[in-house]
Amino acid sequence: MNSKFIVWVEENKKIQKLSEEMKHNLLEYIKENITDTKENCEKYILEKWDDTLGNCDNLKFDDKEVISYVIHHFLDRYQRMLLTLYDMYCRKVLPIKRNIYVLDIGTGPANSLFAICDFYKLIREFGNEYNIENYKNINIKIEYVEKSLSFRKWIHKFQEFLIKRNKYYEIPFHKGTFEDFSNISYTISYNHYYRNFRFDLVINSNFFTKANMKDEHNNVYILYRKEIENTIRKIKLNGLFVTLSSINYDFYSDYKKYLKGIKSFRGKDVYKLNEILDVNSNEFKVNTKQTKKELTANLEKYFTEISAILLENYKFSLEPEKKKYLDRKKSHEWKTIIMKKRKVD
């Protein structure tokens, strides 16, 4: 089934179409909601430009920064996640089962979650076309952790916008269940009723950055030890812990060593994480590479259109420095690390 799905995706350019559709919707959303006045445009796009692009660790993610972040990063990172999922599928490591429980830590504008929903929609579509039971009946149930209220409001607003265009996503609509990752508890009580969460797929994209991994002397310091261990306890047997991040950090070997050392227990059984993948995006499978080129072109078009919106509406053209940054961004690579929860013999 695996190779038939890949051929179907390739022949019908399914990933490209998803990306183009997301680009279109995002641009429409931006035109309608952000660039309505010159003041808004300056406020949202210019004032936070440098921090959003180069210095995310310093952001507070208030309303202004969120808009700026969405404009600069959403489409790029949505596409990264789509390609990552496709690569995972090609390597036969993507969960395919009836109910898939997903958690995204530090979801931001939920770029990864929109990609997860869209990719599983593709799998269902293929399942329906070829009547494949375990593909057409996949349900995904999503939770995210996000402490910025501005991001949670944005996810709500963007979904409202998409619903009006008949696009539905399984992402929590009413601002999510979990806010701060610090001291997170996955057992939630609603009037004497306890809900206990367990996950098949836990992802974090650009969350465990240097700020969470190094102290002021540049020594390894894992800020959220207790929370990571608690989260890994909630991953099901054979569930995955997936990290997407910049390729430029030097802490990955410590990070992986730390993750591999975590033990969780159920009765007498002991569980640990096994590394199953550590790749840079330029090492993705052949099929993924071809698709990747076209997604890069889609991103280029997006930034050209964003520049055109600015120029047309506000007679504002990007300074050469800022333009250069966007050019570099087009060729950005990222890193994917996947760990699988296994029982220790």
Ligand X SMILES: C[S@@+](CC[C@H](N)C(=O)[O-])C[C@H]1O[C@@H](n2cnc3c(N)ncnc32)[C@H](O)[C@@H]1O
Q: Distances in Å between the alpha carbon of 218 and those of 175, 211, 223, 272?
A: 35, 10, 13, 28
The reply to whether 299 sits near ligand X by the rule CB under 6 A is: no
Is 153 a residue that touches ligand X (CB under 6 A)?
A: no
Please select the residue that binds ligand X; options are 78, 86, 126, 207, rule is CB under 6 A: 207
Our finding on whether 97 is near ligand X (CB under 6 A) is no
Using the contact rule CB under 6 A, the part of the chain among 20-28, 90-98, 139-147, 267-275 near ligand X is 139-147
| Closest approach of ligand X to the CB of residue 216, in Å | 18
Can residue 77 be called a binding residue for ligand X (CB under 6 A)? yes
147 vs 198, beta carbon nearer ligand X: 147
CB of residue 95 to ligand X, shortest distance in Å:
20
Provide the minimum distance between the beta carbon of 211 and ligand X in the complex, in angstroms, as a whole number: 9
Q: Which two tokens stand for residue 303?
A: 């930034």
Residue 152 or 292: the one with the smaller Cβ distance to ligand X is: 152
Under 8 Å between Cβ of 200 and 95:
yes
Is 72 a binder of ligand X (CB under 6 A)?
A: no
Task: Check residue 231 for interaction with ligand X (CB under 6 A).
Answer: no
Q: Burial level of 333, CB count in 10 A (0-12/13-18/19+)?
A: middle
Q: Confirm or reject binding of residue 146 to ligand X (CB under 6 A).
A: yes
Work out which of 84, 206, 281, 288 binds ligand X, going by CB under 6 A. 206
Q: Which of 14, 48, 73, 152 binds ligand X (CB under 6 A)?
A: 73
CA distance 107 to 145: 6
Instruction: State which of residues 19, 48, 106, 176 lies at the interface with ligand X (CB under 6 A).
Output: 106
Residue 119 sits at φ, ψ, to 5 deg, of -70, -40
- 282 lies in the site for ligand X, by CB under 6 A: no
Q: Does 172 bind ligand X (CB under 6 A)?
A: no
Instruction: Select from 1-9, 199-207, 277-285, 289-297 the region that touches ligand X (CB under 6 A).
Output: 199-207
Q: Is 182 in the site for ligand X (CB under 6 A)?
A: yes
Footprint (CB under 6 A) of ligand X, residues 107-126: 107-108, 111-112
In the bound state with ligand X, the residue whose beta carbon lies nearer, of 35 and 112, is 112
CB of 148 to ligand X, least distance (A): 4
Among 21, 180, 275, 327, binds ligand X (CB under 6 A): 180
Q: How far is the CB of 107 from ligand X (least distance, A)?
A: 5
Crossing angle for the helix pair 149-163 and 14-33, to the nearest 10 degrees: 110
- 61 touching ligand X, by CB under 6 A: yes
79 forms part of the interface with ligand X (CB under 6 A): no
Binding site for ligand X (CB under 6 A): 56, 61, 73, 77, 106-108, 111-112, 145-148, 151, 180-182, 205-207
